[in-house]
Amino acid sequence: MNRPLPNYFLADLPPDAVLVPRMVVEACQSLRRNRQQFLATKTTSSIVQLLADLAELWRQPDYPFRQRALREGPAETGFSAATLEAGLDGFFRNLTVENLHTLIQQDLGSLQRLDGFSQSHSEIQERRSAWARGPELIAHVAAGNLPNPALTSLTLGLLTRSAQFMKCARGGTLIPRLFAHSLYEAEPKLAACLEIAHWPGGSESLEEALFSEATLITATGSDETLETLRHRIPKGARLMSHGHRVSFGYITSEALNGLGWKRLVQKAAADVAAWDQQGCLSPHVLYVEPRGAIRPEQFAELLATELQRREEQLPRGGLSVEESAAITSRRAFYEVRAAHSPETRIWCSPQSTAWTVVYETDPLFQPSCLNRFIHVKAVKDPSEALRYAESARGKVSTVGLGVPPEQAASLAQQFARWGVTRLCSLGQMQNPPLTWRHDGRPALGDLVEWTDWEQS
């Protein structure tokens, strides 16, 4: 499997191949034709089965596409093979018939919704039915090198029977491309409704060509990037955008009494290490209450030990000089503080920037420079944490909770009222289920257009 992949997608072209707008337009036109011929007539159950079978294959250690992803992935994506393996397994483990059914049921109210007119329970009584139709052609502007959001987008687009053109970011092409090739091997006609491409940011003529063909454009990026994009969407096309987000963890005193603390430290470390903290679901800060048997400062120290242990099994990927320099300079800042005040402490990986834990009594929310650089902050209660996280309000995706079950409900309510869109257990921050409502929006539900039929 060392030979080059066959030329099925634009991303398969040699790196020096130059794309021109006409190629993008022609690719979109053939995607639409192929969709009409092969995909539009598929049933939900056949697509669900195909996706689940494919996921099963991806989980086999000897599956050639998986092997290739783990072999070539570190150089392209910047993640270590172990990190990629853990992250991809997490994704494909979730991609089952049962979970896909749950997602369709949740977002669309009936399993047959995408096949034609169907009725939910309440609609039967009302003598109504409805059909959820996917966009004809989705253009995905995928951000960054995290493969899971891109794979999720492709999966949802297949469910809605949409032709899809995915423009990947630098370092983010390999895995969507391998996924598309694995689909090609399983069902070439469906893969002919997909296009994977990469071009350097700012290639406006290529993007214009793509947007002029698309029915729906999905994009992830900074507020600034999305604002610029919004003005470039042609009339008649729809933009579905996801801004950058931050996440944090919250651990109560009660959770740190008794024997549970060790598991909590492991879970916190798992969240920091997953995808080298690059995702919007990765924590920047862990807020820890001070009245437990393990104090926040001790928690930070235990977390440092755990991150070192994890580094040995699940090494962080290599960094650019700029990224390393960002960590080194941040460390220097906190080192100066730590030398002069007991209110700051810092633990660093030896002879590398692999991980960093900064403990502070100052509860102000502090965005991390990422790549496994975590702030542990002592905080009296959730109200105090939220007060000090005000600068991030409206931009918080996930809060990972380390709390005993009896405390969970009231905490969840408090965070939800403040505007957090996802709460989960610590350790699961980077493992959202397929049914996750992305930044508070139904991921599948937002793609479709409905036709209501009132029969009475």
Q: Give me the residues that bind another protein (CB under 8 A), please.
A: 78, 143-146, 149, 171, 220, 222-223, 242, 244-246, 275, 277-280, 282, 284, 319-330, 332-340, 351-353, 360, 362, 364-370, 390-392, 395
Pick 2 or 320: Cβ nearer another protein: 320
Pick 28 or 143: Cβ nearer another protein: 143
- Residue among 208, 38, 49, 46 nearest 115 (CA): 46
**3-class SS of residue 55:** helix
Nearest approach, Cβ of 316 to another protein (angstroms)? 11
Pick 98 or 362: Cβ nearer another protein: 362
Pick 16 or 322: Cβ nearer another protein: 322
Q: CA 303 to CA 292: how far, in whole Å? A: 16
CB atoms within 10 A of CB 48: 22
Nearest approach, Cβ of 84 to another protein (angstroms)? 13
Nearest approach, Cβ of 334 to another protein (angstroms)? 7
HSE, CB side, 13 Å, CA atoms: give it for residue 366.
21
CB atoms within 10 A of CB 229: 17
Nearest approach, Cβ of 155 to another protein (angstroms)? 17
CB atoms within 10 A of CB 228: 11
Distance of CA 183 to the CA centre of its chain: 21
Q: CA 398 to CA 388: how far, in whole Å? A: 16
Strand intervals (E) in 68-224:
128-133, 137-141, 163-168, 194-198, 216-221
Pick 197 or 392: Cβ nearer another protein: 392
Pick 370 or 378: Cβ nearer another protein: 370
> What Å distances lie between residue 268 and 53, 256, 276, 409, CA to CA?
32, 13, 13, 20
Nearest approach, Cβ of 106 to another protein (angstroms)? 23
HSE, CB side, 13 Å, CA atoms: give it for residue 128.
13
Pick 143 or 444: Cβ nearer another protein: 143
Pick 102 or 324: Cβ nearer another protein: 324
Using a 10 angstrom Cβ sphere, with 0-12 exposed, 13-18 middle and 19 or more buried, the burial of residue 409 is exposed
Pick 179 or 275: Cβ nearer another protein: 275
Q: CA 453 to CA 129: how far, in whole Å? A: 5
Nearest approach, Cβ of 242 to another protein (angstroms)? 7
**The Cα angle at residue 119 between residues 114 and 125, in degrees rounded to 5:** 165
Residue with token string 């120290």: 301
Nearest approach, Cβ of 259 to another protein (angstroms)? 33
Torsion angles phi and psi, residue 170, rounded to 5: -60, 130
Nearest approach, Cβ of 414 to another protein (angstroms)? 21
Q: Can you say whether residue 65 is alpha, beta or left, with left for phi > 0 and alpha for psi between -120 and 50 degrees?
A: alpha
Q: CA 442 to CA 439: how far, in whole Å? A: 9
Pick 35 or 316: Cβ nearer another protein: 316
Enter the tokens of residue 97: 């018939």
Nearest approach, Cβ of 224 to another protein (angstroms)? 8
Pick 100 or 143: Cβ nearer another protein: 143
Nearest approach, Cβ of 58 to another protein (angstroms)? 21
Rg (CA), the chain: 23
| Parallel, antiparallel or unpaired: strands 396-402 and 344-348 | unpaired
Nearest approach, Cβ of 75 to another protein (angstroms)? 14
Q: CA 112 to CA 124: how far, in whole Å? A: 14
